[in-house]
Structures are given as structure tokens and as C-alpha cells.
Structure 1
């Protein structure tokens, strides 16, 4: 039974609702997340949940964006602390990517729940562009590749990272093996000779 909601600013309430949504996905899976269950778990009225997200796909998209932003922010923080050596940058990037992939399994569950959604396709493109820019910016000082070529290789590396993360989550690879595999692919992708 919903209790009287605490007065929060609209943005603070949205953050509270998204925190609650993450908890629901973590315990019940993405199928357990609806606007009704969100309102109940957050202790707010249904109209408040609908006012923030309008539809279940709207909620899932907002949650996906939030988790994706947190994932990129964690990688950015890790890269800031990396020694400015190509091998270390590639290793730190790989380790941070997989730490987030395993620490935030909700991101994969939400993505799966949105498959086939036209809105999700746009969000996936936005996400891939953001990660590719992040990677290319970090790797550009160590590459002889033209920026556009490097960006495209980073898009390919992201596909490989996603596939390796799936293997990691299925326990078909260890953390160390996943990091070593992606690090090797990143370092191999910086080879300008392969572009000729």
C-alpha cells in the first residue's frame, strides 16, 4: 500500500524512482518492472510514476540511459587514473568495461527488455557513439590512425567487448581472461599497418 510521498523536487523524485527501478530489476528481472510495481515499491501514487515516464518503455529507456551514463562515467574515472602508456590505457579501459558489465547486470536485462523497440534502436546508436568517442579519445595519442578510422575500429571493439562480456556473464571466461582478450584486441586495433 502506497504511503504519502515525501516532497521531493521533480528531479530528485525521478532519481528516487530510477533507484527503485534498478532495485526491482535486480531482484525480479526486467519483466517485474512496471509503472505499477515502481509506484508501489517507491511508495508513491501511480500518477507520479506515470507523470515521470508515461509508459513502461519510457521507464525502461530512462533506466537504460541512466545505467549507460554510469557505465561510461566509471570508465572515464578509471582512464583518468591510468598511467599514460598504451598498454595500461587499454588494460584499464578493458577492466573498467567488464567491472561495469558484471556490476551492472541490470543494463543487459533492460536492453533485452527493449529489443525490437524503435526508440531503443536510437538509444543504442547514441550509446555506441558515446562509447566509441570515449575510447577513441583515450586511444588517439597512441595511434597513427586517422580519427575516423580509429572511431570505426572502436565501434568494432565495442561489439567484441559486448560478446566477451556475455561470455563472462555466462561464466565461460574469467575476469582476467576477459580483460586480457579485450586489451589484446584494443592494442591490435591500433596498428596502422592493418589499415593499408
Structure 2
């Protein structure tokens, strides 16, 4: 009989992919309930109801686990963004609205956990590099989506970085209920529209 402390029965047989999914979901719960500092490989093994070597076979280090969590968040962000873009109009308002709403929605779906993971990512060069890479991919995607509305001019990286900073700050404020989600989306939408307008003027 499994301990009530575990999230899964100890002897449940899962494929490697299923086990990794279980471990990632359990890690998110630990961060949400106990904070990022409580997330260790040993604690993850305890909560997941598996032996420590099982966890180490998936994530050799705590840094590796944090990277996996951020990549999991990033993948879900792209999936939410894809769905929003597919449903949006082929206009600046449509694309800006899709970007703004999907970014905020993804952070809200993850709740208060992601700020702690992002803070931990900034704590070492290896982890920070992963976030920079994910950010760069996101920014280039946004540049490509918004470029047709910049009247043939290139949207500068400074503007894109400012947009990302606003997106992170507004979505995290919404996640902590400092502001409501609608206000966060509207402000980010206006930020994106203004950025494209400045780019079009050169």
C-alpha cells in the first residue's frame, strides 16, 4: 500500500515517457505547494513514490530538472499560442491579440509556480542560457508574425525585448492577482501595437 505522501503507487508500471511525465507533473506540484527551494531530486522521488535512482535516470541534477520544467512550460506556451493564432484574424489586431492573450493564459494556467522556476533559471549560467534560447525563439516568432504590419521595416530586437519584459511582468502580476487577466492582456496588446507602429515609422 502506498504512503499518502506519494502521488503515485510505488509499483505502478509506466513507460519511460509516462514516468517522465509523472515526474514533471509531480515536480510542478512540489513547486506550487512547497516552493522552488523544496524541489530536490530526493523530494521528487519521495512524492512520486519511486526510488531515487529512477529520478536520477531522468534528471541527473536539480538543474536538469529545472530545465525540464521550463521546457515543459515553453512547449505548452507554444501550443496555446498556436491555437490562438490559428483562430485569429490575419490583421495586426488579430495577431497582437493572439500573442497577448496566449502569453498571459499560459502563465495563468501554470499559476504561481513559473515565477519561482524562472528565478531559479536565472541563478546559474547554464539555466539562464536555456531561458535565453527559448526567449530568442519566441521573439523571432513574434517578429515574423508582426513583420507584415511594419510597412517593410524590421522590428528591432530592442522593441521585441521590451515587449517580452512587459509580457513577463504583466502575466506574473495577473498570476499573483495584483491585476486581473483582462487588464494584463489589454496592456500587453497595446504594447505590441505600439511597438509595431514605432517600427513602421522607422
Structure 2 gap ranges (5+):
none
The more displaced of 126-135 and 170-179 is 170-179
Of 95, 98, 104 in structure 2, the residue corresponding to residue 92 of structure 1 is: 98
1:15 matched residue in structure 2 = 21
* Structure 1 residue 170, shift from structure 2 partner: 4.1
1:53 matched residue in structure 2 = 59
Count of aligned positions: 194
Of 136, 150, 159 in structure 2, the residue corresponding to residue 153 of structure 1 is: 159
For 2:123 and 2:89, locate their aligned partners in 1 and report how far apart those are by CA, in whole Å: 41
TM-score computed with the length of structure 1 as normaliser: 0.88
Is residue 164 of structure 1 aligned with residue 170 of structure 2? yes
CA-to-aligned-CA distance 1:134-168 (integer Å, 9 cap, x gap): 21222122222544x35553232111211222332
Aligned CA distance change for structure 1 residues 138 and 42 (closer, same or farther; 3 Å): same
For 2:39 and 2:152, locate their aligned partners in 1 and report how far apart those are by CA, in whole Å: 44
TM-score computed with the length of structure 2 as normaliser: 0.85
* Structure 1 residue 63, shift from structure 2 partner: 1.0
For 1:145 and 1:156, locate their aligned partners in 2 and report how far apart those are by CA, in whole Å: 21
Mapped contact 1:20–1:38 kept (Cα < 8 A): yes
The more displaced of 169-178 and 62-71 is 169-178
- SS at 1:112 equivalent: helix
* Structure 1 residue 46, shift from structure 2 partner: 0.5
2:125 matched residue in structure 1 = 118
Mapped contact 1:150–1:190 kept (Cα < 8 A): no
Of 174, 178, 188 in structure 1, the residue corresponding to residue 184 of structure 2 is: 178
